[in-house]
Structure 1
Amino acid sequence: MRRLLLPILASLPVLAALITLGTWQVHRLHWKADILDRIAAAEAGPPVPLTGHPPPYSKVVATGRLDHGREAMLGIELRGTTLGARLVTPLLRQGAPPLLVDRGWVPMERSQGIDRPEGEVAVIGYVRQADTRDWNSPRDDLAARRFYVFDPAVIGAALGLPVPAPFGLVALAPPGTSPTALPAAARSLPRPDNPHLGYAITWYGLAAALVGVVASFLLRSRREHAA
């Protein structure tokens, strides 16, 4: 009896852990699905006026004047065979801190003109939170206005701006914008991956496999004992 009891007792904590992990992934699945539903609803709806503390990825509209004389480049991105980066331009707002606007991708070597609207503009986009800088973050080239970490405070100081908003705005391309227009602005809100169904199936599958192994062991032991 002890020979059969020990494998059962040893497998129970493992089985409980596998089921717990699978259930946690199911909760994460529903949580992520809710986020995706809210992003889809925000994308389909009209933008809301920008406030001082907007939630991440909310679709907003901000009004001001783009300061093209203080443009900066953010990150590095290869599109096809063309190397480029994100064009970041301060939006100067009346009675509010400057807002760093990611206007879209532009190539490093420019053979095509870039749209630079003058006067007061209304920029529609989604809120981007600041990046977290750590020991592995690439070093910004402040003199060349090339940045690899989206840190509004650092970028604003390098551009000689008053303290900017602690978040940024990623501009969305207006409907009907040519796909070849520069900057190549985002055309949709970002959507996080939702791989949690696969993770849940994996953990529950391992739990089922463990039950199968233990059951097979017990059945074989019973047959051997009967023989």
Structure 2
Amino acid sequence: MKRLIAPLLIGLIGATILVALGTWQIQRLSWKSDILAEIDQKIAGDPQPLPRVISPSEQRYMPVTMAGTIETGALFVLVSVKRRGPGWRVISPFTTDDGRRVLLDRGFVPTDAKGAPLATGPATVLGNMHWPDDRNSSTPDNDITNNTWFARDIQQMAETLDTEPLLVITRELSPADKGMTPLPVDSSGVANDHLQYAVTWFSLAGIWILMTGVWIRRLMHKG
């Protein structure tokens, strides 16, 4: 029996650690779900005038409304939209009635629409302020010369279009932007993989216990 003590301890300790990790992920799932609910509530809140003092950490997803003019010029950000395929996010300069010039994410157009004329002129925007994090280690550098962007680098876009480094993503535009499909912000882009992680850890705990049982059985048969 003494030789069974070590595998029993290893099995119990290993399974306990794995179950604890799974339980921690369940707790993280609850925490992340609360955060996503707060984000959704903020996105759908009452729109405010475009703030003068900018605080990205506090104003991310803040709903705003602004009236002004969509100016000429646009940047094209390569994206892929579910059930529609590849295309472009169109970013244009927008001058508000009080003279501010900001970036306006107008929405999605198909790939072959890159050279098509874009509407300009007076418009009223309902949207959300955002500081997107599109870039990762595999994202290519933006090709400014050919107007092919792979990430919405706000500072770089602002320098290119001579605007404030401030991006508003359209939810509604009046008059409607013909041929453009708005891509409003939502919480779907915020990763929430904690349930998958929890299932993985609990599955590993089950496998660990099973393998420990096999180990002990073999030791008993040898005895």
Aligned-residue identity in percent? 25
Q: CA deviation at 1:150?
A: 0.9
Q: Amino acid of the residue matched to residue 34 of structure 1?
A: D
1:168 aligns with 2:163: no
Asked if the contact 2:40–2:187 (Cα under 8 Å) also holds between the matched residues in 1, the reply is no
Instruction: Determine the structure 2 residue equivalent to 1:11.
Output: 11
Measure, in 2, the Cα distance between the counterparts of 1:193 and 1:3: 46
Q: CA deviation at 1:124?
A: 1.9
What are the ranges of 5 or more consecutive residues in structure 1 without an aligned counterpart?
A: none
SS at match of 1:74: strand
Asked if the contact 1:57–1:189 (Cα under 8 Å) also holds between the matched residues in 2, the reply is no
SS at match of 2:143: coil
- Pair 1:104–1:27, CA change in 2 (3 A): same
SS at match of 1:138: coil
SS at match of 2:112: coil
Asked if the contact 2:87–2:108 (Cα under 8 Å) also holds between the matched residues in 1, the reply is yes
SS at match of 2:141: coil
Asked if the contact 1:173–1:186 (Cα under 8 Å) also holds between the matched residues in 2, the reply is no
Deviations 1:42-70 (A, max 9, x none): 34432234431144652411425344212
Q: CA deviation at 1:86?
A: 0.7
Question: Which of 145, 148, 160 matches 2:147?
Answer: 145
1:186 aligns with 2:211: no
SS at match of 1:170: strand
What are the ranges of 5 or more consecutive residues in structure 2 without an aligned counterpart?
A: none
Instruction: Determine the structure 2 residue equivalent to 1:65.
Output: 68
Asked if the contact 2:127–2:168 (Cα under 8 Å) also holds between the matched residues in 1, the reply is yes
Asked if the contact 1:128–1:170 (Cα under 8 Å) also holds between the matched residues in 2, the reply is yes
- Pair 1:131–1:212, CA change in 2 (3 A): closer
Instruction: Determine the structure 1 residue equivalent to 2:87.
Output: 84
Q: CA deviation at 1:100?
A: 1.4
- Pair 1:115–1:18, CA change in 2 (3 A): same
1:205 aligns with 2:203: yes
Q: How many residues align?
A: 217
Q: CA deviation at 1:151?
A: 0.9
Q: Aligned-residue CA RMSD in angstroms?
A: 3.6
SS at match of 1:186: coil
The more displaced of 8-17 and 99-108 is 8-17
Q: CA deviation at 1:203?
A: 1.2
Measure, in 2, the Cα distance between the counterparts of 1:27 and 1:183: 41
SS at match of 2:172: coil
Instruction: Determine the structure 2 residue equivalent to 1:31.
Output: 31
What TM-score, normalized to structure 1? 0.74
SS at match of 2:109: strand
Q: CA deviation at 1:168?
A: 2.0
Deviations 1:77-129 (A, max 9, x none): 3676775201101223477863211110123434987543x23x442222321
Q: CA deviation at 1:149?
A: 1.6
SS at match of 2:205: helix
Asked if the contact 2:72–2:93 (Cα under 8 Å) also holds between the matched residues in 1, the reply is no
Asked if the contact 2:36–2:187 (Cα under 8 Å) also holds between the matched residues in 1, the reply is no
Deviations 1:16-50 (A, max 9, x none): 43123212211221122112212332344322344
1:106 aligns with 2:106: no
Asked if the contact 2:171–2:184 (Cα under 8 Å) also holds between the matched residues in 1, the reply is yes
